[in-house]
Chain A
Amino acid sequence: MIHGWTTRLVLLAFAAAAAPTLLGLGLLTREYSLVAGRLAGQGNTLARNEAARVAKDLFLLVRSQDEFARQKAKADLAVANEVLGREGAIHFADPPIAWTAVNQLTGEPRDVKLPGMFTGEAWLGNITDPRIPAPIVDQVQQLVGGICTIFQRMNEEGDLLRVATTILNNDGRRAVGTYIPAKLPDGADNLLVKTIISGNVHIGRAYAANSWALGAYQPLFDENKRVGGAIFVGMQLESLASVRAGVADIVVGEHGSAMVIGADGADRGRCLSSHQSHDDGKLLLENDGAGAEHSYVKRVLATATNLVSGDVAFLEYTVPAPNGVERRMLAAFTYFRPWEWVLVATTEIAGYEGAIERTRANIRAVVYWLALGGGMLVLLATAVAWRLARRLRRAALRAAAAAERGSSGDLEGGRRALWQHLARAPTANGDAARARSASSPMALPRSSPRMDEIERVQWALLGLFDSVQATLGNLRGGADDALARMGNFAPPIERAATSSADLPSVSQRVWGSARELGTASERLLVELTEFLERGETTGQAVAERRPILESVDGAMRRLVEAMGVVSERLGEVHEQVGEFSQVLGTITGVVEQTNLLAINAAIEAEKAGESGTGFLVIAREIRRLSDQAAVAAQAIEKRTSAMHSAVSAGVMALDKLTAAAKHSAQVSGNALGSLPRLLESFRGLLEQARTIRGTALEQQKRARDLAELTTALDNLARTTSQRIEDQGSRAREIRLVVAGMRATIEKVKL
């Protein structure tokens, strides 16, 4: 399905690079969903926790301030008593002084006349100008800071009129002339006044002139040990800078803030301290025209005063935002009863969810970057793999192309292409390749550690080319050699085949001639016998009858004639046997030559070693055949020469006989004239005729022998011819095979 290493490598690299990225992405996504699920709904809790913590901190701050103020009030009171003791006890003296006493709670004025109040010799006077030093109170303020006030008892009820104070009114004058009513506007007893009148010290919060203060009220007794007034040392709550600064600086969550709200009296719903002091002094109750953002105040106040000191309560509410979406807010609040302060921490719930959202966004960003980085990594890896694979592919294709060229026959082309490529390599191996010429065989530089596998394959291929080239070169040389040898080898064999093909026809003719010779010899024998019979009779009656002589003469003539025929036939046979001998000589020569060639081929094959084995087998076979042919030819030669000599002997004998017969005939012709001489010569002829008869008998025997021999010769010739023909075709086959091999090698460019 996937073809080629390029695709495979690229896919592999892609997978290898993509897998970790995908895995990381998967893990992150899972983690993200886990975290997101865990964080969902945590916003509210976080907001509550933080707001509660702020409210609680605020509570602790206020409480510590309260405690500090109480301690300080005690110490301040001691200082004030010291000052008073130095100046002397208080006493009252006339003339009475008219006051327009103003109820500090209701603002109601009332005219009263009271005796002047003295401490020691000093009249406390009615000093309103802060630049004029007032006795006692200014001294005390100088010593301890804060505020100090001396009250004069106005009546039996115990209304306490400020006669000397360091508290300034809103108009910048000393707030003398106001009084603390013994009865609250609702008619109840003022616990503070009651405590003082009863001669006890009150430490705590109190409304001083126009604001709340924290300090100690101590009754002042006159000469009659009656409570004639009181002294107050303490500080205005407004001046508790640490609380204010703390509240102002507090930030709850992202946009939340802290606020102190008064819970009773005139301060109910009034912001006493706020973030950056923006809303300080404002009344935050709805019906007082407070903004929607403070809609919670009323509800908070309703709950807060019922809280156990230090407990934190929560209120969720919404405020409209400029974009029309309501903001979900949370208020955590606590109540500090001694001061009747409600301490509120407000925050926007969404702020915490925003943090969670940021966490999510962070994770998303991580996922994004991971995806981006992973993607780039994948691209990089893929690109690198592609490059690498392309290199690999090129090298492999180059080797394959070279091998294909080689296998299609262009060995040299393939080898040269490989060599050129290797020589181009910018490595030590390339140097090794360049160091060699293009044509010299190259050994694989095995010791090179810098060779990669592809190069190794190419080098090995180059080596293969070299060795194949060398082998083919050797083979071509061998084939050339073999062809040359076959060239030497084949023609004689073919000649032998051709010659031996003549052999049967020649031997056939010899056979025919021998038979004719046999017949002629038979006739000669008959003639001779007759002649002899007649001659013997003639010898006795030669002198008596001439016709007999004439008949002898006739017999003589026929005899001569018969001898002529035999002689002629013998001549033919002689000639044919000579021809036969000649053919046989050729055959024998060829056989010898073949044998020689076979021997030399075997010698060469022996030297060629392994590669010559096939040739050796052929050479051995040829030699074996040539041996057989040689044996056959030798036998033929032997018999032929025997026959030849026999025929020669026959011819010679016949010639002699013919000469004698002719001589007799001649003599017999003349004998008619001179019979005695004839008789003489006839006796001699008769003698000779006996010899001829013997010769003729022998001749006939030889002719029979010759006929037999020729038959044998014919058979032998046929066999030899066939064998030599076999050899010839075998040689031709070998030649064809070798030539084919040579042609194949020729196709390969070495």
Chain B
Amino acid sequence: MRALLLHVGEEVYGIDIRDVAQVLPLVRPRPVPGAPPFVAGVFSYRGTVVPVLDIRSLLEDQRALARLSTRIVLVRCRAGETVHAMGRGPDEGAPASQRPAYILGLLAERVTEIATVERQGSTTAAPGAGRDSFLGDVAVHGDQLVQLIQVDQLLTPQIRAQFFAEAPAP
């Protein structure tokens, strides 16, 4: 599979390129008061308010550095998995392509590469549980291990409730 690579510290993470809508240069998101610490803020993307999550904050309780290579990755998240995890929802069981999609911004460092990676399998003890529920399979890129990020899992009910009260993005 093809993945967009990004770095948190020395670790490499990957996002399935099919989930990526666009990579934008770093803009300073407008902070949202009362939002969880991993929410860097919101910014306007083509007239739509897009929440930006700080990947580093999600993993290390430390904000991402504003490097030149620090960028905002716009991903398409599909609701459903999360709702399923909550055990309710009208979208349950619907095919992924038919579930509503939401645009989410991910603030990440050293977003400079798209690579072909080989999916190796899951390394998390209990995928889909805990704070790291968005971490998926581990893939290999050359000698590097790439931790894949399941973008759908980033759209927690909390995020959804806070930022996507209205209709999903087309």
Residues in B with CB closer than 8 Å to A589 are 68
Pick the residue among B2, B18, B111, B112 that contacts A627 (CB under 8 A).
B112
Supposing A589-B68, A630-B112 touch, asked if A606 and B18 sit within 8 A by C-beta, the answer is yes
Residues from 574 to 620 in A contacting B, C-beta threshold 8 Å: 588-589, 592-593, 595-596, 599-600, 602-603, 606-607
Kindly report which residue of chain B lies nearest to residue A607, judged by CB atoms: B18
A529 to chain B, nearest CB (A): 45
B35 an interface residue at 8 Å Cβ cutoff? no
Q: Within the complex, which residue of B20, B71, B114 is in contact with A623, where a contact is CB–CB below 8 Å? A: B114
A600–B69 contact, CB under 8 A? no
CB-defined contacts of A623 to chain B, threshold 8 Å: 113-114
B4 engages A599 (CB within 8 Å): yes
Q: In the complex the two chains form, is A596's CB within 8 Å of B71's CB?
A: yes
Are A592 and B17 interface neighbours, CB within 8 A?
no
Contact, CB under 8 Å: A602 / B25: no
Known contacts A588-B68, A589-B68; A603 and B23 CB within 8 A of each other? yes
Taking each of A588, A606, A623, which has the highest tally of chain B beta carbons within 10 Å of its own beta carbon? A606
Given A603-B4, A606-B2, A596 and B113 contact (CB-CB distance below 8 Å): no
Is the CB–CB distance between B113 and A603 below 8 Å?
A: no
Query: CB distance A592 to B114 under 8 Å?
Result: no
Nearest to B114 among chain A residues (CB) is A602
Q: Mark B121-149, 1 if CB is under 8 A from A, else 0.
A: 00000000000000000000000000000
Which residues of A lie under 8 Å from residue B23 when comparing CB positions?
Answer: 596, 599-600, 603
Contact call A599/B18, Cβ cutoff below 8 A: no
Residue B62 at the A interface, CB < 8 A?
no
Count of interface residues, chain B, beta-carbon cutoff 8 Å: 17
When distances are taken between beta carbons in the complex, the residues of chain A under 8 Å from B18 are 606-607
CB-CB under 8 A from B4, the residues of chain A are 599, 603
For the complex formed, measure the closest distance between the CB of B69 and the CB atoms of chain A, giving whole angstroms. 7
Query: Provided the pairs A599-B4, A627-B113, A630-B112 are in contact, do residues A592 and B22 lie with their beta carbons within 8 angstroms?
Result: no
User: Chain B, 144-168, contact with A by CB distance < 8 Å: what is the 0/1 string?
Assistant: 0000000000000000000000000
Q: Write out the residue numbers on chain B whose beta carbons fall within 8 Å of the beta carbon of A596.
A: 23-25, 71
Return B117 CB to nearest CB of chain A, in Å.
13
CA distance A603 to B22 in the complex (A): 7
Nearest A residue (CB) for B2: A606
With A588-B68, A592-B68, A596-B23 known as contacts, the answer to whether A602 contacts B17 (CB < 8 A) is yes
Q: Given the known A-B contacts A599-B4, A600-B23, A603-B20, are A592 and B111 also in contact in the complex, defined by CB atoms under 8 Å? A: no
From residue B27, how far is it (CB to closest CB) to chain A in Å? 12
CA distance A244 to B129 in the complex (A): 143
Interface of A is mostly: helix
Given A596-B25, A599-B23, A630-B112, check contact A606 B17 (CB 8 Å).
yes
A-facing residues in B6-21 (Cβ within 8 Å): 17-18, 20-21
Interface centre among B21, B68, B113 (most CB of A within 10 A): B68
Chain B min CB distance to A600 (Å): 5
List chain B residues, Cβ under 8 A from A592: 25, 68-69
Residues of A within 8 A of B25 (CB): 592-593, 596
Assembled-state Cα–Cα distance A595/B69 (Å): 9
Indicate whether A599 sits within 8 Å of B68 (C-beta atoms), given known contacts A606-B2, A606-B18: no
Residues of A within 8 A of B113 (CB): 599, 623, 627
- In angstroms, Cα B21 to Cα A627, docked, is 21
B167, chain A: closest CB distance, angstroms:
23
Please name the residue on chain B nearest to A603 by beta carbon.
B20
The answer to whether B112 touches A603, judged by C-beta atoms less than 8 angstroms apart, is no
**Nearest chain-A residue to B24 (Cβ)?**
A596
Which residues on A sit within 8 Å (CB–CB) of B68? 588-589, 592
Interface string of B95-119 (1 = CB under 8 A from A): 0000000000000000111100000
- Residues on the A chain within 8 Å of B112, using CB: 595, 599, 627, 630
B115 → chain A closest CB, angstroms? 10
Give every chain B residue within 8 A of A607 (Cβ-Cβ). 18
**A673 to B122 alpha-carbon distance, docked (Å):** 88
Look across to chain A and name the residue whose beta carbon is closest to the beta carbon of B73: A599
| B residues in contact with A603, CB < 8 Å | 4, 17, 20-23, 114
Nearest CB in chain B to that of A599: its residue: B23
Q: Which of A588, A593, A599 contacts B111 (CB 8 A)?
A: A599
What is the chain B residue whose CB lies nearest that of A595? Answer: B112
When distances are taken between beta carbons in the complex, the residues of chain A under 8 Å from B69 are 592, 595, 630
CB distance from A483 to the nearest CB of B (A): 18
Bound form: Cα–Cα A593–B25 in Å: 8
CA distance A592 to B113 in the complex (A): 12
Closest A residue by C-beta to B112: A595
CB-CB contacts below 8 Å: B58-103 with A: 68-69, 71
Chain A's closest residue to B5 (CB) is A599
The complex places the Cα of A623 from the Cα of B25 at a distance, in Å, of: 15
Which residue of chain A lies nearest to B70 when distances are taken between CB atoms in the complex? A592
Give CA–CA (A589, B17) in the complex, Å: 24
* Nearest neighbor of A620 in chain B, beta-carbon distance: B114
Complex CA distance for A655 and B23, rounded to whole angstroms: 47
Q: Which residue of B lies closest to A602 (CB)?
A: B114
Q: Find the A residue at minimum CB distance from B67.
A: A592
Residues in B with CB closer than 8 Å to A627 are 112-113
* Closest partner residue, chain A, to B19 (CB atom): A603
**CA–CA, A593 and B26, complex, Å:** 11
- Nearest A residue to B17 via CB reads A606
Map CB proximity to B onto A36-58 as digits: 1 under 8 Å, 0 otherwise: 00000000000000000000000
**How many angstroms from the CA of A700 to the CA of B17 in the assembled complex?**
52
Beta-carbon nearest neighbor of A585 in chain B:
B68
Nearest-neighbour CB distance to chain A for B17, whole angstroms, equals: 5
- Of all chain B residues, the one with the shortest Cβ separation from A626 is B112
Complex Cα spacing A607 to B20, Å: 10
> With the chains together, A633 CA to B2 CA distance in Å?
27
Residue of B whose beta carbon sits closest to that of A606 = B17
The smallest beta-carbon distance between B24 and chain A, in angstroms, is 8
Could you show 21 A-B contacts with beta carbons less than 8 Å apart?
A: A588-B68, A592-B25, A592-B68, A593-B25, A596-B23, A599-B111, A599-B113, A599-B114, A600-B23, A602-B2, A603-B20, A603-B22, A603-B23, A606-B2, A606-B18, A606-B114, A623-B113, A627-B112, A627-B113, A630-B69, A630-B112
- Given A599-B111, A600-B23, A630-B69, 12 more contacts at CB 8 Å? A592-B68, A592-B69, A595-B69, A596-B23, A599-B112, A602-B17, A602-B114, A603-B17, A603-B21, A623-B114, A627-B112, A630-B112
Chain A interface residues toward B at CB < 8 A = 588-589, 592-593, 595-596, 599-600, 602-603, 606-607, 623, 627, 630
